[in-house]
A and B are shown apart, each in its own frame.
Chain A
């Protein structure tokens, strides 16, 4: 980078190295994130020569998609200064409900019922956060308990009828087209485009940033933030529900705790992607990169023979380090 710079600009050069790097991280977080992703892939190739290829990439993407959708829930809620820790319970619930209802109702009706249940949970969360001003962390933790408990009750009701993940969902969640293109991209690409364009180009997307960046200013500008928040948590629950369909299809299991282990990684993916938990800053592009980075990192650690324990430690440390780097880079203005 600096080799081609003119020799007269020694001082200018130093300015470039500090401030320009900061600007790069602050304004174009996707570039360093993609660089990190490429670096991890190269590392993987060095550790396991010959494995990296189209087939490997397909399995990585297939694993990353449900995580990326759940991280989308976190991105949207974090933009308003919130967080949604109920995504795990909601995603598990929808997968489970479809698996138990597909027999008597058929797939479309079963999915509709599951999504309606998810939307109901999101509505209650949204009312709590938007109208009653309950802290989103508490509200969604409580909602996670309620959804998990109700799903368990449902499970006991359904013991006799039995359950099975419908083949259509298995096709969507686990299938690979020509062994290189995961079928779940059929769901994910439109969804991701919707979120990306929605955040950038629609009034509602800008309202999310406005409410998170400065709630008082947003209120004075005439934003009814409670309406924004109720809609937001319903959207988040629906996204989690869709992720639950893909997840149950990918793993061919219907369990009421299926997606629980993805809750914290989904927060991590959004944080790594540059979305601030304080609200008002971030976007979905970085989050997708964050989900891919996490998935590759986990695969790398697994292939290196790290145990679950070491992975947990490294995982947590990475989150703190990345979040700290972002805080450093963006706080000097």
Chain B
């Protein structure tokens, strides 16, 4: 480790910068390499996998990717949101029901749903901060509450999505190899997260997550930062719920497995559950990897139940590897 550092110092600045970038985002590079290997393997066992496969992958991945970004934000700030799946269910059924009732006002409905997401996240955050109850307990309880409201809005699956919303995520963009869903994902994340990441708030999120006492002594308002983190997570949950309605065409009041999978993707994406470490790109790649693993298992005609086992095993394995690395770092 030290010899490497010395050789780096002797070289010129560009090489040094490149090396430090590789080192700091080594996890993401590793994930990308793993993903590329997965695609090669997919082509190997299913040579017809191509444009259609990529398109399907992008659409199916979109809701979970947005949920994972939301989860990543709150985990970076040192919390965790177990209610994300039921927030998605609630926003999704609100969108589906009111778009079916008021087809002309679908744009208003979309905006209202995004506001609703902000509100749900705000309530989560305020509860976490004011009750001083651990995040896990509060969001676990809110998981009940939001899924109850989802059942009130729409007792059985139903409603519909506006055609323009459905088309927004279907098909390709410019080139047939670039799915629209992927572009939408990158645009949404880029427009919302990147400015925040660069701002004072972004810095506060990381500061509070890595050492809240130090952040407090440096003049960062912990309560405000936490509330904002949960609010942002609510917004991303609403976006995920909207894309869920758009891709399935209906709203389902029962939460899917998104909470669990979003935590898995966040961990796989290199975000430390202790907070303060990681970004949103890793979790997005993590979601794609999880989904592609599933596709591969389908192609190999494996028992889908074994796919569930594999997901759990991957989750555990990745976290174990991550904590082993952290333990090693501590010993050095």
Contacts and interface: CB of A to CB of B under 8 A. Distances in A.
A308 B136 contact: no
Contacts of A2: none
Instruction: Specify which of A139, A307, A323 lies most central, judged by the most chain B CB atoms within 10 Å of its CB.
Output: A323
A312 B303 contact: no
A324 B152 contact: no
A134 B138 contact: no
Nearest to A318: B141
A217 to B, nearest CB: 19
A148 B138 CA distance: 26
B43 interface: no
Contacts of B130: 324
A310 B152 CA distance: 8
Indicate the size class of the contact surface on chain B: 35 or more
B144 A143 contact: no
B136 A312 contact: no
A317 interface: yes
Contacts of B138: 320, 323
B311 interface: yes
Interface residues of A, number: 46
Contacts of B137: 267, 271, 277, 319-320, 323
Interface string B302-323: 0101111111110110011001
Interface in A302-333: 307-317, 319-320, 323-324, 326-328, 331
A156 B142 CA distance: 35
A319 B319 contact: no
B3 interface: no
B133 interface: yes
Contact of A153 (B131, B133, B309): B309
Instruction: Specify which of B132, B152, B308, B313 lies most central, judged by the most chain A CB atoms within 10 Å of its CB.
Output: B308
Contact of B151 (A141, A309, A323): A309
Contacts of A320: 127, 131, 133, 137-138, 141-142
Nearest to A148: B308
A264 B144 contact: yes
A322 B311 CA distance: 35
Interface of A: 83, 128, 132-135, 137-139, 141-146, 148-150, 152-153, 156, 264, 267-268, 271, 277-278, 307-317, 319-320, 323-324, 326-328, 331
Interface of B: 80, 127, 130-134, 136-138, 140-152, 155, 260, 263-264, 267, 273, 303, 305-313, 315-316, 319-320, 323-324, 326-327
17 contacts: A128-B316, A135-B273, A138-B315, A138-B319, A139-B316, A142-B312, A146-B308, A146-B309, A149-B305, A152-B308, A309-B148, A312-B151, A313-B144, A313-B149, A316-B145, A316-B146, A323-B138
